[in-house]
């Protein structure tokens, strides 16, 4: 428990130091009228929660330097293009590849000319062609890291069980979690008869979401589960497994409910069908909104330190930010649990078997 407090204290300290560098940059580069402090804080928050084509560990705005490493850019545009994101110089330069020119704008890649010209519509959205982007972004990299971490963890756990009935090493911590997911989530919601074939997915999605949520609480600015594309993919997996697992009772209760008058069946069938799509949508939005809101609140509280700029307001903001970060540790686990629990519940609906006379 002490280690968790130490990690969160160091996280808040690093975030405060990062904002402090931005504040110093404002004092050296312009007057308060020229530079809006709230705008700077908002930009820092956006940088933290958005995906990027390079991995920035630390930024020094006073010297205009960023410390980190570049990631590979993979594009499909009249052929295959592979180059380092360092060619963009954090969006300041135009990258050339096989005679084509590309520019990074708001973390999206657009095809352009040698001068980097971008055309905009009335809503100030670029109208340039966007190539198919399969780049290894910061979020993709952390998904890979999490996948490797889980592979090492569970293969090690399996080997330890092969040598004896008691897990060893890190397996002693994770074994009770695995047993809890089986006994308290999978079996009660899916049933003894069918739960085994869903255990691999439930364990994977639980630890995947949990680990990524924890990575998001580090000073590295990783916000994978706060990306709606990631939560959409996870919810889509649950949706597809549910639909392909559905038995005749599942589909009958959607389109032609037994024991219900025919006029009501006609009315309820579209509503039930709509519910099929609302369930995964709720999964997607719940995870995305909770994680994104947590990051924004935490970073906003840190930013308030430099808005107040006095020992009372800044101290209160620091204490609140630390308290929220501790709550976020619980939220990281809770969101993984909720996603796994609801997925198991939907699987249970799909494979449920009962007599209509008993059900109604």
pLDDT tens for each residue of 113-170? 888 888 888 888 888 888 998 989 888 999 999 999 999 888 888 887 777 677 777 7
Let me know: does 298 contact 305? Beta carbons within 8 Å.
Answer: no
In this prediction, residue 10 carries a pLDDT of 45
* pTM attached to this predicted model: 0.81
Query: For residue 329, is pLDDT > 70?
Result: yes
Let me know: does 191 contact 348? Beta carbons within 8 Å.
Answer: yes
Res. 5 pLDDT band, cuts 50 70 90: very low
Res. 359 pLDDT band, cuts 50 70 90: very low
Proportion of the chain above pLDDT 70, given as a percent: 80
Helix (H) or strand (E) holding 133: strand 132-133
More confident residue, 153 or 61: 153
Q: Which two tokens stand for residue 299?
A: 């970073």
Let me know: does 49 contact 296? Beta carbons within 8 Å.
Answer: yes
pLDDT digits (tens, 9 = 90+) for 246-300: 888 888 888 877 777 778 778 888 888 888 899 999 999 999 999 888 888 887 7
Let me know: does 157 contact 171? Beta carbons within 8 Å.
Answer: yes
What DSSP string runs through 294-322?
Answer: HHHHHHHHHHHHHHH-SHHHHHHHHHHHH
Which range is least confidently modeled, 157-161, 219-223, 275-279, 309-313?
309-313
In this prediction, residue 265 carries a pLDDT of 77
Q: Which two tokens stand for residue 55?
A: 């991995």
**β-bridge partners, 100:** 97
The C-alpha torsion from 314 through 318 and 323 to 329, rounded to 10°, is 140
Q: What's the rounded Cα separation, in Å, for the pair 22 and 305?
A: 12
Let me know: does 178 contact 187? Beta carbons within 8 Å.
Answer: no
In this prediction, residue 107 carries a pLDDT of 81
Mean pLDDT of 297-314: 73
Beta strand 94-97 with 100-105 is: antiparallel
Query: For residue 340, is pLDDT > 90?
Result: yes
Q: How many CA atoms lie within 13 A of 293 on its CB side?
A: 9
Question: Comparing C-alpha atoms, which of 199, 155, 169 is closest to residue 181?
Answer: 199
More confident residue, 102 or 219: 102
pLDDT digits (tens, 9 = 90+) for 8-24: 444 544 444 444 444 44
Let me know: does 360 contact 258? Beta carbons within 8 Å.
Answer: yes
Mean pLDDT of 221-227: 84
Beta strand 72-76 with 132-133 is: antiparallel
Mean pLDDT of the chain: 80
In this prediction, residue 342 carries a pLDDT of 95
In this prediction, residue 205 carries a pLDDT of 95
Question: Comparing C-alpha atoms, which of 19, 7, 8, 23 is closest to residue 299?
Answer: 19
């Amino acid at each position: 428990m002490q280690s968790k407090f130490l990690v969160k204290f160091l996280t808040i300290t690093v975030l405060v130091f990062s904002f402090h560098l931005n504040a110093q940059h404002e004092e050296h580069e312009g007057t308060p009228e020229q530079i809006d402090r709230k705008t700077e804080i908002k930009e820092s928050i956006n940088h933290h929660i958005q995906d990027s084509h390079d991995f920035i560990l630390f930024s020094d705005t006073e010297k205009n330097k960023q410390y980190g490493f570049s990631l590979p850019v993979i594009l499909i545009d009249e052929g295959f293009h592979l180059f380092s994101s360092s060619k963009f110089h954090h969006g300041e330069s135009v990258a050339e590849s096989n005679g084509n020119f590309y520019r990074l704008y708001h973390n999206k890649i657009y095809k352009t000319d040698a001068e980097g010209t971008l055309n905009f519509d009335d809503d100030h959205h670029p109208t340039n062609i966007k190539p198919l982007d399969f780049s290894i972004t910061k979020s993709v990299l952390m998904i890979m890291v999490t996948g490797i971490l889980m592979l090492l963890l569970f293969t090690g756990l399996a080997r330890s069980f092969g040598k004896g009935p008691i897990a060893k090493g890190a397996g002693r911590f994770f074994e009770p979690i695995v047993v809890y997911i089986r006994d308290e989530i999978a079996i009660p919601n899916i049933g003894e008869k069918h739960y085994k074939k869903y255990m691999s997915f439930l364990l994977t999605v639980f630890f995947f979401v949990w680990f990524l949520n924890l990575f998001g609480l580090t000073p590295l600015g990783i916000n994978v589960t706060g990306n709606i594309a990631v939560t959409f993919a996870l919810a889509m997996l649950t949706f597809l497994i549910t639909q392909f697992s559905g038995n005749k009772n599942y589909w009958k209760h959607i389109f032609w409910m037994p024991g219900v008058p025919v006029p009501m069946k006609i009315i309820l069938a579209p509503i039930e069908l709509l519910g099929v799509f609302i369930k995964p949508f709720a999964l997607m939005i719940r995870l995305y909104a909770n994680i994104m809101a947590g990051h924004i609140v935490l970073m906003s509280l840190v930013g308030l330190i430099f808005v107040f700029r006095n020992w009372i307001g800044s101290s209160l903001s620091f204490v609140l930010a630390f308290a929220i970060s501790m709550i976020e540790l619980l939220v990281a686990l809770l969101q993984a649990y909720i996603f796994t629990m609801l997925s198991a519940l939907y699987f249970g609906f799909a494979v449920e078997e009962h007599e209509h006379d008993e059900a109604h």
